Structure 1
């Protein structure tokens, strides 16, 4: 394999100032080997339940990772040539896609995607040369050979990565069979928990909503022909998730509004929506009402409520039709929380059983709204930088934006939010390095002593996610 050496600098992402960097090193060493707690992600439980060998390098590292594919697409590479939305790839298809990644590798300079992938290649697969057009085949062969070994099966990698908890994201009608298989397998010692993701059942404007509601009723064993039955079916499915180890529900909508409807209005709009007769304004009002209902249910059943509004889903309709959702064309929009969440927080914001974690891709909301909300309401926590913001400089800005208002205890801990299984350790390591550097800066300014910084760093990795997500 010819090319430039792939080396990971031991001080990567730590402060440039030598004195502060030395403090950052000590803090990082204190937390680098702590277990990974991943309370929000999209790796399927089936992968670990089946524990089958990963098919090929492209299917593992490239095609499921929209962080990678979207920038390639922006540079003129068609998604179908990258295996996006495809079934099993032939060896020639997989290798061809990988070669495209190698040819376009310079596109990722300076991006967190490059940081993660370099970490995956070097730390997991012992690749010694940088990826390029010239080395793509040799790197591919190296990874493919590793994937034939039992120590690169999903369960072996789970243990090697040091994962303590891994949360999946699941449809409310899912029977959670893979989770049950893992739970009852005497050879499995990990913990994989389902997450209740009800968006499609809360928004009557979504495609095929009446059919979705019919499936919901069938899964719950409850007649959803009227609004009370629909609410009861959602409550029943939440109980099912709790019984199968679920700890949270996950919510995404274009806005965070939670205006309640009177019961008779909710019934009226629900019946109209089942007939396909509800207008756009009524559908939006019902969705907002149901977000508040999710908080009410959370007070009863204890599921942590994570909310990440402000994303325009499937922005490019032709790509959505050809490749499906979550293929790189969801785009952030400006988000408002303070007025939007007041109806929910007026009713439930001080309830002892509610944990509401607010994520955003509009970082102007961190200091303006999310930190002040988390700094007053005992139920509210500032979610970590997520999606477009889970990058080094954005994480630094997040810490600077929220800490003066909320301290460190009101933040969620890092979430990797990934479908790319092998990127989990690289993403968490990045967060630990950034937080170590931030804390080192506070020590250097004599705003913290080093013992305090060590305790905070440990809490951000272990205590905060366990507490916020009730783990």
Structure 2
């Protein structure tokens, strides 16, 4: 029987062990997509206790607690103390056999708190004390965690109307060990069907773009360009778009003006077709602008968000009440990429679906739109959210290797709000090395350790540096 989470955790072969320890583990981290608040980095946040660091914004942990019948007041509320919340989590974690959360938690305990104990209800008090004592050290403040994690680049997620003041402060201070760059997250511009879209466009985006009126598609394009210019000044090189499903419904300019004018003047919500036409027009325009600037476009879809309407009304979005959706996005995605490509406006693009059934759909599209701008110009995003587990990562790697080129992938982002989540890169790299190691030891690839080592180093870090031209 193997020891739980020893130095060779998840590494089943000698090839895997050499690849991980000698090649993957030493590589820095390029975190090209995360939800860390740049204010935490700018202010070099100090955590009062481990519950604040772990349970303050981690929806994975919230979902675990709810699944174990812990009341919401003890999850996100203030019914109990931080120590009691931690106790609930420790007791719940013991039941999460096979969950990546179980692995992530213990990786964090080992890497950041020098603690090899197994967290459960019985020793929660002891681990609470160990972690809280460790959190007092300077290297466990926000920037210290980043340095300990060997993070070189962090790309946050930022609204187009943001003044990016925290990025400015980070840059001016010059103390953060990583380059912290904004990401242009265009959701609030795209979501014309959402309540409050008109107010956002008029007041938040309009004010940020220094425009008195936004009432036509031409106005929206002008505002977008102004904000893209501003983000570019702050070092932005990546844009991000979360869609329920991929759209492609071209429309005439007058049709777009009609729907924009109707919604922005409070005359009702758009029809499904009108919504898709508007989103298509904005996405095509954004794609052209990204290509012109040399930026990368990220598109992710098939998340079924906020399925619990009662809890949404109380807690709002990003509270852990999401699920996986199913859509046939292949035709629209192919037409969208083709429309940009035929006019020479297709930027480097990363495509992710939350539905694992789409892995082969996306992987098959990649070579169809390859280009000379980068190895793997069109990328399949790493196993994401509900797929970010051992089986999900292996499945994505297997399909990508089978019908595209695994050696060109840019690896995984953190996609987390927690600074302690950088151990997820270790988790991914261990699974990657084990996957490659099994191919080698099964005689499916030569045991050329020089070539294999370079492949692992590239996937872990170097490919991302080249892809984003850092």
- Please state if 1:427 is matched with 2:424: yes
> Tell me, what secondary structure is at the counterpart of 2:429?
helix
Work out whether 1:306 is the aligned partner of 2:303: no
Aligned pair partner of 1:366 in 359, 365, 372? 359
Q: Distance in 2 between matches of 1:466 and 1:336?
A: 33
Please say if residues 440 and 453 of structure 1, whose CA atoms lie closer than 8 Å, have aligned partners that are also in contact: no
Which sections of structure 2, spanning at least 5 residues, go unmatched?
371-376
- Which residue pairs with 2:254 in the alignment? 264
Instruction: Name 2:96's counterpart in structure 1.
Output: 108
Report the RMSD for the aligned CA atoms in angstroms: 1.9
Following TM superposition, by how much is the alpha carbon of 1:353 offset from its aligned partner in structure 2, in angstroms? 6.2
Residue ranges of structure 1 left out of the alignment (5+ in a row) = 1-5, 16-20
Q: Is the 8 A contact 2:244 2:304 kept in 1?
A: yes
Q: Using the TM superposition, give the Cα deviation of residue 187 of structure 1 relative to its aligned residue in structure 2, in angstroms.
A: 3.1
Deviations 1:122-153 (A, max 9, x none): 22112242211121122112212222221211
Deviation string for 1:31-79 (max 9, x for gaps)?
Answer: 2111011101111111111013113211211231111111221221123
Alignment of 1:23-422 (within 5 A): 23-29=15-21, 30-82=23-75, 84=76, 93-214=81-202, 215-222=204-211, 223-276=213-266, 277-281=268-272, 282-349=274-341, 351=344, 354-367=347-360, 369-378=361-370, 379-422=377-420
CA contact (8 A) 2:300 2:352 kept: yes
Taking the aligned partners of 1:349 and 1:431, their CA distance within structure 2 comes to 32
Provide closer, same or farther for how the CA distance between residues 230 and 399 of structure 1 changes in structure 2, counting only shifts above 3 A. same
SS at match of 1:370: helix
The answer to which of 261-270 and 400-409 deviates more is 400-409
In 1, Cα distance between the equivalents of 2:105 and 2:304?
27
Q: Which runs of 4+ in 1 moved over 6 A?
A: none
Cα pair 2:340 2:346 within 8 Å, conserved: no
Instruction: Return the match for 2:434 from 415, 437, 461.
Output: 437
Q: How far apart are the structure 1 equivalents of 2:229 and 2:335?
A: 25
Distance 1:250 1:373 in 2: 19
Partners of 1:182 and 1:196 in 2: how far apart? 18
How many Å separate the matches in 2 of 1:342 and 1:22? 41
TM-score, length basis structure 2: 0.92
Measure the CA separation in 1 of the matches of 2:352 and 2:37.
Answer: 22
Shift of 1:279: 3.0
Number of equivalent positions: 454
CA–CA separation in structure 2 for the residues paired with 1:268 and 1:300: 28
Question: Equivalents in 2 of 1:469, 1:76: separation in Å?
Answer: 44
Alpha-carbon distance, 1:409 to partner: 4.0
CA distance in 1, matches of 2:270, 2:155: 36
**Partner of residue 13, structure 1:** 10
TM-score (norm 1): 0.92
Q: C-alpha displacement at 1:224, in angstroms?
A: 1.3
The DSSP-based 3-state class of the residue aligned with 1:359 is: strand
Q: Relative to 1, partners in 2 of residues 1:258 and 1:295: Cα closer, same or farther, differing over 3 Å?
A: farther
Aligned to 2:373: none
Instruction: Work out whether residues 45 and 178 of structure 1, in 8 Å CA contact, stay in contact via their aligned partners in 2.
Output: yes
Contact 1:412–1:465 (Cα < 8 Å) also in 2: yes
Compared with structure 1, are the counterparts of its residues 280 and 353 closer, same or farther at alpha carbon in structure 2 (3 Å cutoff)? closer
Q: Secondary structure at the match of 1:34?
A: coil
